Amino acid sequence: MLDHGTEAMQMARSRVRRDLDKDRQLNLALVRLLEIVGEASARVTEDTKRNHPQVAWVEIAGLRNRLVHGYDDVDFDILWDIIQLDLPPLVSTLTTILNR
């Protein structure tokens, strides 16, 4: 989760929202990275999830399902907001958890 979330943030760092519409490789890469973050969240133990309720485990897995099964209807405004607004605190929290 941490590695792929970090990679998505780095990939989007010097970009703007409209780049998702113009750059197919960027678009596909970011979607795939978020899919992997979601897939990895489903593999986290129930103990870890219980001990870290500050992480939106269910929503993260739900995003993965939406991206995988609704691939032809992704709202890229929402995707961009997730990368810009939700991913940085998630990466920070995961870093803290893993450094304990």
Active-site annotation, residues: 64, 69
User: Which secondary-structure segment (H or E) carries 85?
Assistant: none
- Whether residue 5 contacts residue 37, with contact meaning beta carbons closer than 8 Å, is answered with yes
Cα 48 to chain centroid distance, Å, stands at 18
Cα dihedral 95→86→7→60 (10° resolution) = 80
